[in-house]
Amino acid sequence: MGTYRVMRQDDNGNRFLVAKGLDRAEAGRLAAGFEARGHKQMYWVEADGEAGPEAADGTVRNA
């Protein structure tokens, strides 16, 4: 099993690493928590080493 990271994209299109080295469930909870707080940024979970966005619920988002 691999590790996952939580990424964030702000309203200017800049992407930032929020956390890494997490298991899938922990990363999903963290991303969902940020989303639930109503931040304007987009948060997603991706496997460490991946480049594509994946929402906290596992669905793929368009970047």
Nearest to 18 by CA among 29, 30, 26: 30
Beta pairing partners, 7: 17, 44
Into how many domains does the chain fold?
Answer: 1
> What is the C-alpha to C-alpha distance for residues 25 and 41, in angstroms, rounded to an integer?
21
> What is the C-alpha to C-alpha distance for residues 13 and 26, in angstroms, rounded to an integer?
25
Give the global pTM. Answer: 0.72
> Strands across the sheet with 15-22, in order?
15-22, 4-9, 42-47
Beta pairing partners, 43: 8
pLDDT band for position 58 (cuts 50, 70, 90): low
Q: Which domain holds residue 58?
A: 1-63
The predicted-structure confidence for 9-55, as pLDDT tens digits, reads as follows: 988 889 999 999 999 999 999 999 988 886 678 999 999 976 655 55
User: Tell me, what's the pLDDT at 62?
Assistant: 44
